[in-house]
Amino acid sequence: MNLIDDYRNPHRLQERLEVARRLATRRWTIMDVCGGQTHSLLRYGIETALADCMNFIHGPGCPVCVTPAEVIDAAIDLSQRPKVLLTTFGDMLRVPGKTGSLMQARAAGGQIRMVYSPCDAVQLAERHPDLTVIFLAVGFETTAPATALATLQAQARDLKNFAVLAHHVRVEPAMRGVAAAPSAPLSAFLAAGHVCTVTGYESLRSLAADFRLPVVVTGFEPLDLVEGIIGCLEQLESGRAEVENRYARCVRPDGNPDALRLIDRVFAVSHLSWRGFGILPDGGFTFREEYSLFDARRRFGLAPLSTLPADRESSCTAVLMGIIRPPECPLFGVTCTPDAPQGAPMVSSEGACAAYYRYAPPGATTDV
Ligand code: SF4
């Protein structure tokens, strides 16, 4: 049996689900903040299996979903300027801004190309010196190191025709935003293993202490998730609120120092706007002064993000903040489907609405 099979072992999974059921003496509410974990909870039936004894809510765990509409609009604006080639990851193309999506902009003549890595965009800049190649960079601390590396590559190659429209966000401030919201009946967090692989988990200790919430770091395989849930329940039932690492095969307390150094060299922590949350203190990264040449916002005179308003009004916002679950949105599966998405949580393959539509579709017999 290989390692992956071991973490999906159905007999062991049933045993651990039973342990979780026995531990829960009241209906606790556990939130994950990772689209991959949301998908695994639904795909492997964990949420359904425990639906009779606890609640699951899904927080802002999808970087595509939390990118403000104004950032998409800015990317569309740039793609329509002369001698500009806008590049980004494929899942950003269908995300709606306020003026449409990048895919629609491309159909209307915008110069937009999908890439698999920010370093691909650097290569495009090298091959097309007549164009300014802009990379639309979104994501958590997991993708920020690659954007920083691409920026350093461009600097080393003296590529003055490369720039980045960066919107990299930090997860811990969003967890604080959720915990502080009076509408979120939250008992504990599952912390995202991939983010903690980069950041470590020391910074989560003050979050756990400030809000008296257990925070358990875990991964994405079914047994990882159930172990994380058990970790939450053990703390809740014994009145503790600590940070615990149940993903020790990947996550170290101090994370990945090399990746953190890369981020810190190119970016500074700053207040940043999240879709659904508005501006979060220390919610993301912006370019340091010495890399301002590569900052598309500055180079093209775009409005600073800190002045942008929050998108607070919609069901999508309520889903992103864990206030409602996707099936509670009146549009879910009616006018909003993966083929005709009305909001970012349905567009992105990592979004909570897409996860529910795929694994717990409307009309399915399930309690989730
Ligand atoms: S179902 Fe569609 S409209 Fe409703 S919250 Fe999800 S993405 Fe938004």
Domains annotated for the chain, with CATH where assigned, are 3-18+30-59+183-192+201-245 (3.40.50.11750), 69-170+255-305 (3.40.50.11740), 315-359 (no CATH)
Name the one residue in this structure whose structure tokens are 């193309």: 93
* Distance separating alpha carbons of residues 183 and 203, to the nearest angstrom: 24
Average pLDDT over residues 262-279: 92
Binding site membership of 336 for ligand 1 (Cβ less than 6 Å): yes
Report the residue among 65, 319, 350 best suited for mutation to probe ligand 1: largest number of ligand atoms under 8 A from its CB.
319
Binding site membership of 331 for ligand 1 (Cβ less than 6 Å): yes
DSSP states along 219-231:
-SSHHHHHHHHHH
The region that residue 204 occupies, defined by phi over 0 for left and psi between -120 and 50 for alpha, beta otherwise, is alpha
Average pLDDT over residues 92-106: 90
- Mean pLDDT (the chain, rounded): 91
The region that residue 268 occupies, defined by phi over 0 for left and psi between -120 and 50 for alpha, beta otherwise, is beta
Which tokens hold the place of 142?
């997991």
Q: What is the pLDDT of residue 49?
A: 94
Binding site membership of 345 for ligand 1 (Cβ less than 6 Å): yes
Average pLDDT over residues 220-236: 97
Q: Ligand 1: which residue has its CA nearest to atom 5?
A: 316
* Distance separating alpha carbons of residues 204 and 182, to the nearest angstrom: 20
Positive or negative torsion for Cα 275, 319, 116, 156: positive
Average pLDDT over residues 67-75: 92
Name the one residue in this structure whose structure tokens are 């990048």: 102
* Distance separating alpha carbons of residues 177 and 199, to the nearest angstrom: 18
Which tokens hold the place of 300?
């093209």
Average pLDDT over residues 334-356: 88
Tell me: pLDDT of 368 over 50.
no
Question: Which of the four pLDDT bands, split at 50, 70 and 90, describes residue 95?
Answer: confident
Q: How far is the CA of 365 from the centre of ligand 1 (A)?
A: 20
Q: What is the pLDDT of residue 9?
A: 82
Question: Which of the four pLDDT bands, split at 50, 70 and 90, describes residue 188?
Answer: very high
Q: What is the pLDDT of residue 5?
A: 64
* Residue 63 near residue 352, CB atoms below 8 Å: no
- Ligand 1 atom closest to Cα of residue 324: 5
Q: How far is the CA of 198 from the centre of ligand 1 (A)?
A: 30
Which residue would you say has higher pLDDT here, 190 or 342?
A: 190
Positive or negative torsion for Cα 340, 345, 350, 354: negative
- CA torsion angle 198 204 206 208 (round to 10): 180
- Ligand 1 atom closest to Cα of residue 351: 7
Name the one residue in this structure whose structure tokens are 């290989």: 2
Binding site membership of 326 for ligand 1 (Cβ less than 6 Å): yes
The 3-state DSSP class for residue 83 equals coil
Q: Ligand 1: which residue has its CA nearest to atom 8?
A: 316
For 77, the enclosing helix (H) or strand (E) is: helix 69-79
Tell me: pLDDT of 1 over 60.
no
* Distance separating alpha carbons of residues 144 and 290, to the nearest angstrom: 17
Cβ neighbour number for residue 146 with a 10 Å cutoff:
16
Name the one residue in this structure whose structure tokens are 């994405």: 220
